Amino acid sequence: MSASAAEADETARDLLEALVSIPSPSGEEREAAERLAAFFEERDREVWLDEVGNVRAPADDSVLLTSHVDTVPGEIPVGVEESGDGAKELWGRGSVDATGPLAAMAVVAVRTGVSFVGVVGEETDSRGARFLVEDRDAPDAVINGEPSGWDGVTLGYRGFLSGEYAVATDSAHTSRPEPNAIQEAMAWWSRVEEAFEEEDDTPVFERVTAKPVVFSGGTADDGLSVEASAEVQFRIPPGESAAGIRETVEAELDAGKIAWGDPIPPVMESPRTEVARAFRAAIRRAGGDPRLLRKTGTSDMNLYAGAWDRPMATYGPGDSELDHAPNERLDLGDLDRAVAVLEDVCETLQS
């Protein structure tokens, strides 16, 4: 096999298309999870759906392969098309994030006999991963499935913190100069953004990113007050903490209050672990030039790293620029190469 040509892996391609053809937005993963479990049952592997809906197929714990079953919402017609350069691409929601990595890992778990879990809820509250780390012992190594490109390995992610801000003021005629709740909320968020400003040359991975995702306000139903609310998110770089971000945000409160969600810590794995070394060697044997990546988002690997002191990395076929996009599609040649690389890595870690 070379970087320009790989033998088509029909098992992986068929499983991928079958899973992508089943809508599985967060909270509605059951049908896709059952199809994934059937893949293991048909190959005489022990498998079950646990109480939160994760697909559990335990075996050799020298490696745990895990990716998420759920996708973001959005309907993209499923089908294989040929790109301008002749590559075959599978279109469909989840083909990249993260059903491509999920299918690759399921196939490799069967072929090598390592442990596998398809988790639910990654795109919302990571309930599957949160349950998993409480429900089982740590494996010897973890490979999490997210798109990195077949020749890329992700070692770092920023953490995540969410909050819900709410403020209310007495209703008054709009000719009055005093700020109402909407103005209070807007002013608060402006101060928060300013508090996290960085120099333009600071890499995004090393910044706190503050982002409002929902903003609403208006006169209350009883007509006696004006209310405003905002759902906000913060990405936490290594070296920063959720507690520090909360302190900064709360220091900017002149009015109102904020309720915080459970934080997810950042993670930055060493490139010198046995997992990272195995990936570099496998990618080179496949004809690639390994790329070590740091992602500005957050994944379930953050939770695994926080709970298990084990070497780990995130890997999977696909261009992460197509995550959640209306033109989400996966180069099937990349899927083939990723399966071969994963199989090589698992065999190395089993030896």
Asked if residue 320 and residue 290 are part of one domain, the reply reads: yes
Domain that holds residue 223: 159-260
Q: In Å, what is the CA distance from 244 to each residue of 145, 158, 188, 206?
A: 30, 15, 18, 15
Task: Quick: pLDDT tens for 289-322.
Answer: 999 999 999 999 999 999 999 999 999 999 999 9
51-79: average pLDDT: 97
Distance CA 22, CA 95 (A): 11
Whether the per-residue pLDDT at 256 is higher than 90: the answer is: yes
Whether the per-residue pLDDT at 1 is higher than 70: the answer is: no
Distance CA 72, CA 92 (A): 12
Distance CA 191, CA 327 (A): 36
Decide if 9 is catalytic. no
Helix, strand, or coil here: 126? coil
Residue 328 DSSP symbol: -
Which class for 196: exposed (0-12), middle (13-18), buried (19 or more C-beta within 10 A)? Answer: middle
Helix, strand, or coil here: 5? coil
In percent, the amount of the chain with pLDDT more than 70 equals 98
CB 210 within 8 A of CB 234: yes
Q: Give the chain's mean pLDDT.
A: 95
Asked if residue 102 and residue 164 are part of one domain, the reply reads: no
The mean-pLDDT minimum among 13-17, 130-134, 200-204, 307-311 falls in 200-204
> Which ranges of the chain does DSSP label H, i.e. alpha helix?
10-20, 30-41, 99-112, 127-135, 181-195, 242-251, 274-285, 300-307, 332-350
The 10 Å CB-count burial string (b at 16+, else e) for 30-65 is eebbebbbebbeeeebebebbebbbbbbbbbebbbb
Whether the per-residue pLDDT at 130 is higher than 60: the answer is: yes
Domain-embedded: residue 88:
yes
Domain-embedded: residue 224:
yes
Whether the per-residue pLDDT at 84 is higher than 90: the answer is: no
CATH number, residue 17 = 3.40.630.10
Of 260, 282, 309, the domain-final residue: 260
Q: List Cβ neighbours of 349 (8 Å cut-off, separation of 6 or more).
A: 62, 63, 140, 141, 274, 275, 278
Asked if residue 23 and residue 121 are part of one domain, the reply reads: yes
In the set 122, 151, 300, 328, the catalytic residue is 122
Asked if residue 129 and residue 36 are part of one domain, the reply reads: yes
pLDDT, position 3 = 45
In the set 29, 70, 151, 227, the catalytic residue is 70
The full DSSP string for 163-179 is EEEEEEEE---TTS-S-
**Nearest to 147, CA basis, from 91, 109, 96, 99:** 96
325-332: average pLDDT: 97
**Nearest to 338, CA basis, from 156, 155, 153, 157:** 153
Distance CA 92, CA 326 (A): 9
Asked if residue 172 and residue 147 are part of one domain, the reply reads: no
Whether the per-residue pLDDT at 110 is higher than 70: the answer is: yes
Domain-embedded: residue 2:
no
Asked if residue 284 and residue 245 are part of one domain, the reply reads: no
Of 260, 277, 292, the domain-final residue: 260
Domain-embedded: residue 127:
yes
- Count the domains in the chain: 2
Helix, strand, or coil here: 4? coil
CATH number, residue 234 = 3.30.70.360
Whether the per-residue pLDDT at 102 is higher than 50: the answer is: yes
Asked if residue 299 and residue 233 are part of one domain, the reply reads: no
Task: Quick: pLDDT tens for 207-240.
Answer: 999 999 999 999 999 999 999 999 999 999 999 9
pLDDT, position 85 = 85
Helix, strand, or coil here: 314? strand
Asked if residue 235 and residue 95 are part of one domain, the reply reads: no
Distance CA 101, CA 94 (A): 10
For the chain, what percentages of helix, strand and coil (3-state, to nearest 5) are there?
Answer: 35, 25, 40
Asked if residue 127 and residue 25 are part of one domain, the reply reads: yes
In the numeric block, which tokens belong to residue 127? Answer: 């309930």
Domain-embedded: residue 255:
yes
Band (340; pLDDT cuts 50, 70, 90): very high
Domain-embedded: residue 4:
no
Asked if residue 281 and residue 148 are part of one domain, the reply reads: yes
Asked if residue 131 and residue 52 are part of one domain, the reply reads: yes
Task: Give this prediction's pTM.
Answer: 0.91
Asked if residue 104 and residue 18 are part of one domain, the reply reads: yes
In the numeric block, which tokens belong to residue 171? Answer: 């209703």
Domain-embedded: residue 239:
yes
Whether the per-residue pLDDT at 180 is higher than 60: the answer is: yes
Cα within 13 Å of Cα(335), Cβ side? 31
Of 245, 260, 275, the domain-final residue: 260
Decide if 151 is catalytic. no
pLDDT, position 6 = 64
pLDDT, position 4 = 45
Domain-embedded: residue 163:
yes
